[in-house]
Structure 1
C-alpha cells in the first residue's frame, strides 16, 4: 500500500508541474489579449486574437479540476471544521472520514456527468479554434477521478500512519 501512496504523490508532483506550465500558457494568452486589444489598438493597429480568450478559458478549466484533485490529497479544499475540531479525537476523525466518503460519492457523480458532457462535446467544437469540446469537457471526469484517487490515498495514508486526519493540511499550526 505504501508504494501506491508514493506513486500517487509522484503523479501529483508531475501534475503540479503541468499545472504550472498551464498557468504560464494562460498568462501568455491573457497578456497577448491585453496587448492586442489595448496597446496595439491605441497605436492604431487593429488586429484580432480571438483564440486567446478560448485558450485562457479552456486552460483555466483544466487547471481548476487538476488542482482540485491535488488539493484532495493535501486536504486543502474549503471545509468548515469547527465541529470536528471541537469533538474528541476519535469521533472527530470518524466524522471527517465519513465526510471524505461522501466526497468520493460526489466525485463519482462528477465523473458520470463529465462523461455525459464529453459525449455531447464530441459533436460540438469551439467557435474560434474548432477544438472538439470533448477535450474541454474531459477535464471534469479526469479531475474528479484524480479527486477520488487522492481522497482514497489520503484516507489510507492517515490510517496506515495512524495520523489524525483532522490535522492534515493544517498549515496554520505548522503541522504540515
Structure 2
C-alpha cells in the first residue's frame, strides 16, 4: 500500500508542479505585457495586477505542497543525533500527524471561506472569489495527503537517510 501511495504522491506532485509552473509563467507573461503596454504605449489593462495576484496565491499553495512532499520545509534537527534511529521515524511520524491535523483544520476552514466567496466577485476580472479562495483548501488537501504519506513512510520504513535540505530535490 505504501508503494502505491508513494507512486500516487509522485504523480500528484508532477501534475501540481506543471500547474504551478504554468501559473507562474502566466504571471510573468501577463505582467510583462502590462509593463510594455503601460510604458511603451501609455495604455494599461485593468485586470493584469488582479490576475497575477490571484495566480500567485495558487502558486504559493501548490508550491507549498511540493515543499511538503520533498521535505523542504524548515526543520530543527540539532537533537536528532541523540535519538535512536528507529525512534526518529516514530517522532517524525508523530509530528507529521500533528501537522496533518492542522492542515485538516485549514482544509475545512478554507473550504468554508471558498463557499463564502461564492457570493462575491472580483473587481477587474469579475471572477467569483470562490475560485480564488479555493487555492487554500486545494493546497491544504495536497499538503495533507503528502504529509500522511510521509508519516506512513516514517512509521513503516523509519527516517530517510538523507534529511538535509537539497536544491536538487526541489520541484519549483
- Partner Cα distance (1:166, 1:152) in 2: 19
- Hey, what does 1:142 align to over in structure 2? 138
Deviations 1:53-74 (A, max 9, x none): 0111111111111111121111
- Hey, what does 2:37 align to over in structure 1? 36
Sort the Cα spacing of 1:53 and 1:82 in 2 relative to 1 into closer, same or farther, 3 A: same
- Partner Cα distance (1:58, 1:86) in 2: 45
Contact 2:107 2:136 in 1 (8 A): yes
- Hey, what does 2:117 align to over in structure 1? 121
Q: CA deviation at 1:24?
A: 0.6
Q: CA deviation at 1:79?
A: 2.5
- Partner Cα distance (2:169, 2:120) in 1: 47
Contact 1:58 1:136 in 2 (8 A): yes
Runs of 4+ residues deviating >6 angstroms: none
Q: CA deviation at 1:32?
A: 1.9
1:87 matches 2:69: no
Question: What is the aligned length?
Answer: 169
- In structure 2, stretches of 5+ residues that fail to align are none
Contact 2:67 2:73 in 1 (8 A): yes
Q: CA deviation at 1:166?
A: 7.0
RMSD: 2.4
* TM-score, structure 1 normalization: 0.84
Select between 89-98 and 59-68 the one with higher mean Cα deviation. 89-98
